[in-house]
Amino acid sequence: MPRPDNLLWRSDLGWSPYSPAAYANPRSGLVVHYDSTDMDLADQPLSASIDYWNRTRRFHTGPSRGWVDVGYSWMATAQGYILEGRGLHRQQAAQPGGNSTYYSVTLATGPTDRITAAQINAVRQLREWLMEPDTSIAGTVKGHRDFNATSCPGETAYAMVRDGTFRRAAKWGADAPAVDDTPPTAPAPRPTVPGTAAPPFPLPSGYAFGPKTGPYWQVSGYYSHREDLRQWQQRMRDRGWVITPDGLYGPQTKLVTETFQAEKAGLIVDGLIGARTWAAAWTEPIT
């Protein structure tokens, strides 16, 4: 197969032709991602998606991330374009445990954004192109949450990962769908579920569940192993997060906590389960 019908290289975007990321030879397949915030790009021109892609690169290479480049290999827009990120034969910063073995493609969507038929077909074209001899990846398609605890790539896109939507044959040229086609296989977005009352925070004022072990201290005290931590973990699992309710504060709980805090306005992203983060697991709407 040829390259995707609508492929914009880094140089087309005004970027340097080659990513400064380390060399890699991903062969295991393709991983689908999304943004944790709705983008509303399906009803906007391609230029809006390009602007978003440039903002994403600036964010990833800025002080809050400090990466050498945008984290993903590619982006698929609602208009049916593939935008090059790190591109071919480059290690990513997209999915821990698979950054050198899988390519990544992020959809320019958020939790309830519409995923267009053209966008789906663009991912299919990308997959088939990457399966050609020059790269020879496996046809496997996974979601970000298959690698670590995260809500990415969202309920709609992950359902498509699971039911094989992205692995179906791509349409090319004049047969490719128009941007305003409604994908027949797209499940309805999961409705927002209102929050509920939270149980009392089980720790004394000034304490939090966190990464430190041993006894707690009067200032910045941490608990890393308590039975009531299991209650918060179970609540997060019930909300759809990939987390084991074991009562232990380990790397999985830390990642879920930080990601959840980043998604909810007003929470400090520090990885600590204090009174506000505890309560938000119950009181914040479930999307």
Query: What does pLDDT average to over the chain?
Result: 86
> Which structure tokens are listed for 268?
């400090």
Confidence at residue 24, expressed as pLDDT on a 0 to 100 scale: 95
Confidence at residue 182, expressed as pLDDT on a 0 to 100 scale: 53
What backbone torsions phi and psi does residue 221 show, to the nearest 5 degrees? -80, 150
For residue range 253-272, what is the model confidence (pLDDT) as tens digits? 888 888 888 878 788 888 88
Confidence at residue 188, expressed as pLDDT on a 0 to 100 scale: 46
Instruction: Tell me: pLDDT of 181 over 80.
Output: no
Label the pairing between strands 207-209 and 82-84: unpaired
Domain boundaries, the chain: 7-175, 207-283
Instruction: Tell me: pLDDT of 224 over 80.
Output: no
Average pLDDT on 166-190 reads: 73
Q: How confident is the model at residue 283 (pLDDT cuts 50, 70, 90)?
A: very high
Homologous superfamily assigned to 207-283: PGBD-like superfamily/PGBD (1.10.101.10)
Q: How confident is the model at residue 287 (pLDDT cuts 50, 70, 90)?
A: low
Distance CA 9, CA 262 (A): 31
Estimate to the nearest angstrom the gap between the alpha carbon of 282 and the chain centroid.
Answer: 23
Confidence at residue 137, expressed as pLDDT on a 0 to 100 scale: 86
For residue range 56-104, what is the model confidence (pLDDT) as tens digits? 999 899 887 889 999 999 999 999 999 999 999 999 999 999 999 999 9
* Cβ neighbours of 86 (radius 10 Å): 28
For residue range 116-133, what is the model confidence (pLDDT) as tens digits? 999 999 999 999 999 988
Name the percent of the chain in helix, strand, coil, to the closest 5. 30, 10, 60
Whose structure tokens read 């309710």?
245
Confidence at residue 261, expressed as pLDDT on a 0 to 100 scale: 87
> Which structure tokens are listed for 135?
């790269």
> What is 7-175's CATH number?
3.40.80.10
